[in-house]
């Protein structure tokens, strides 16, 4: 064998190794997905569904490894978006509330009594407002793929029925980590205290706080009634959509086909989770009532009293969210 052909062979062998390594690593690529809630909840089930569909359609090329309970951010769910942006987390299915400190436009969903029903949520997320919100996320270094839903948030407490702002007077309410919630509950005369979901459960158990707000699915699965939250007010004061998203550099490193699969499976998992969450609501409510929780529904006039009491929150937050975005969303809701 000539020196030249030995070299060619060596080169060919090396190239073969390179190809093999590349295909092996393509097969083994694992991506982390952060969620706040585990697969006992619809939110975590959305992540499992997404992982299942991705594994199947990429034929094992991509594996999504779900990390629930905000464990990748040591329980601090308000750091999830930043962690995903910096690449500490590859992907997440996150709440608009938890990401709103970094993406102010997401506070749109937390404006008290802005979103009257599910059709309104769909009109916003599925229309121009939703596109603008996705652009806002993308401009901050994260690629949004699809919507899911944590749900309409309801108010519970351990002290007594709440049907008017005055009933909240001085009540210690655990709120999530967006400053808007502080303003809403201050406007209602309550004593809000911000804490993560991880800290909320012990705080409810010890009675360090009197109340909290979360969707029925969370109240039900986490058995919030069993830590003394015996009064529940159905006030639908806001809806908390979820967003499936990917770190920009991770996204750019994927093939076009992988990107397409990730997006279409996120949309499918999201639609599946939204439908399930909504379908289960009435049964969850019945179960909660059966466990002895006293449920208060608001009359039109009672509802209006809450709307009036929280008007200042709109005045303060609409400029931060963006007047134009709010207007586009308002129009979508009106013509739903």
Shortest distance in whole angstroms from residue 141 CB to ligand X2X: 21
Residue with tokens 């994927």: 254
Q: Which is nearer to ligand X2X, 58 or 277 (CB)?
A: 277
Q: 244 or 251, CB closer to ligand X2X?
A: 244
If the CB atoms of residues 98 and 156 are measured against ligand X2X, the closer one turns out to be 98
Name the burial class of residue 139, with classes exposed (0-12), middle (13-18) and buried (19+) by CB atoms within 10 angstroms of its CB.
exposed
User: Contacting ligand X2X (CB under 6 A), which of 58, 107, 214, 258?
Assistant: 214
Tell me if 218 contacts ligand X2X by CB under 6 A. yes
In angstroms, the CA 246 to CA 33 distance is 9
Contact with ligand X2X (CB under 6 A) among 150, 154, 233, 239: 150
User: C-beta of 98: minimal distance to ligand X2X in Å?
Assistant: 5
Task: Choose among 151, 150, 139, 128: nearest CA to 236.
Answer: 151
How far is it, in rounded angstroms, from Cα 73 to Cα 188? Answer: 31
- Residue 293 binds ligand X2X, judged by CB under 6 A: no
Q: Residue 93 and residue 29: Cα distance in Å, rounded?
A: 19
Binding to ligand X2X, residues 154-183 (CB under 6 A): 176
Residue 240 CB, shortest distance to ligand X2X, in Å, is: 6
Tell me which residues in 53-82 interact with ligand X2X (CB under 6 A).
77
Cβ proximity to ligand X2X, 43 vs 306, nearer residue: 43
Q: At residue 167, what are phi and psi to the nearest 5 degrees? A: -70, -15
For ligand X2X, which is the closer residue by CB, 54 or 175?
175
Distances in Å between the Cα of 119 and the Cα atoms of 39, 76, 277, 290, 321 are: 26, 31, 14, 29, 21
* Alpha carbon of residue 238 to chain centroid: 13
User: Smallest gap, in angstroms, from Cβ of residue 166 to ligand X2X?
Assistant: 25
Question: Can you tell me which residue has the tokens 């969903």?
Answer: 109
Of 313, 167, 183, 310, which Cα lies nearest the Cα of 232?
167
Residue among 114 and 251 whose Cβ is closer to ligand X2X: 114
Would you say 31 or 175 has its CB closer to ligand X2X?
Answer: 175
Our finding on whether 242 is near ligand X2X (CB under 6 A) is no
The shares of helix, strand and coil residues in the chain, as percent rounded to the nearest 5, are 55, 20, 25
- Beta bridge partners of residue 229, listed in sequence order: none
Which of the residues 83 through 122 are near ligand X2X (CB under 6 A)? Answer: 95, 97-98
Interface with ligand X2X includes 197 (CB under 6 A)?
A: yes
Site for ligand X2X in 34-53 (CB under 6 A): 36-37
Count of positions on this chain that bind ligand X2X (CB under 6 A) = 12
Q: Are 7 and 66 in contact (CB under 8 A)?
A: no
Which positions lie near ligand X2X, rule CB under 6 A?
Answer: 36-37, 77, 95, 97-98, 150, 176, 197, 214, 218, 240
């Amino acid at each position: 064998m000539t020196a030249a052909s030995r070299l060619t062979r060596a080169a060919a062998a090396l190239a073969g190794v390179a190809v093999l390594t590349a295909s092996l690593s393509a097969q083994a690529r694992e991506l982390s997905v952060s969620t706040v809630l585990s697969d006992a909840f619809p939110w975590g089930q959305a992540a499992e569904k997404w992982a299942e569909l991705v594994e199947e359609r990429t034929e094992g090329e991509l594996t999504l490894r779900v990390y629930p309970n905000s464990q990748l951010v040591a329980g601090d769910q308000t750091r999830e978006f930043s962690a995903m942006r910096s690449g500490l987390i590859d992907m997440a299915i996150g709440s608009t509330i938890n990401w709103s400190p970094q993406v102010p436009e997401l506070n749109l969903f937390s404006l008290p009594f802005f979103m009257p029903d599910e059709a309104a949520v769909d009109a916003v997320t599925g229309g121009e407002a939703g596109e603008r919100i996705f652009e806002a996320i993308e401009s901050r270094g994260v690629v949004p793929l699809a919507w899911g839903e944590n749900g309409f948030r309801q108010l519970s407490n351990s002290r007594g029925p709440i049907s008017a702002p005055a009933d909240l007077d001085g009540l210690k309410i655990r709120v999530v980590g967006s400053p808007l919630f502080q303003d809403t509950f201050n406007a209602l005369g309550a004593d809000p205290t911000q804490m993560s979901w991880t800290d909320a459960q012990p705080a409810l158990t010890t009675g360090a706080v009197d109340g909290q707000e979360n969707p029925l699915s969370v109240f039900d699965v986490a058995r919030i009634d069993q830590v003394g939250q015996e009064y529940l007010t159905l006030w639908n004061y806001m809806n908390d959509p979820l967003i499936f998203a990917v770190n920009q550099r991770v996204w750019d490193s994927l093939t076009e086909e992988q990107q397409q699969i990730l997006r279409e499976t996120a949309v499918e998992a999201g639609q599946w989770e939204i439908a399930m969450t909504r379908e289960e609501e009435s049964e969850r409510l019945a179960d909660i009532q059966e466990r002895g929780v006293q449920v208060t529904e608001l009359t039109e006039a009672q509802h209006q009293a809450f709307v009036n009491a929280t008007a200042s929150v709109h005045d303060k937050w609409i400029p931060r969210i963006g007047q134009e975005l709010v207007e586009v969303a308002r129009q979508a809701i009106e013509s739903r």
